[in-house]
Amino acid sequence: MAWTAVILAAGKGTRMASQQPKALQKLAGRALIEHVLVTLSMSEIDDVVIIHPPETKEGFIEKIQTEIKTTFVEQKEALGTAHAVK
């Protein structure tokens, strides 16, 4: 059976006092999204869908180094989690 993970990565990170989205914030020298992708690569996940804000697709692409098939979906308006996966 094929498994797909959905990563909601459109959070702004305003409480982190940064202009970068939360998913691109650094932890232990790597972007948070990198930590998630490393964990997913050790699982039975076959595909990843990353939901991102419109202005950051290039930043996400630069951070992603994974063997897992990855699809980017732009969330044009930040209207919450339910809207992101709609």
The more confident residue out of 74 and 19 is 74
Residue 9, CA atoms < 13 Å, CB-side half-sphere = 32
The pLDDT-based confidence of 69 (bands split at 50, 70, 90) is confident
Q: Specify the CATH number for 4-84; select among 3.90.550.10, 1.10.10.10, 3.30.465.10, 3.40.50.720.
A: 3.90.550.10
Q: Are 25 and 11 in contact (CB under 8 A)?
A: no
Catalytic site residue from 1, 2, 14, 15? 15
CA distances 14 to 23, 25, 46, 73, Å, are 12, 11, 32, 22
Is 30 among the catalytic positions? no
The mean pLDDT value for 71-76 works out to 83
Q: What is the pTM of this model?
A: 0.76
Number of Cβ within 10 Å of residue 6's Cβ equals 14
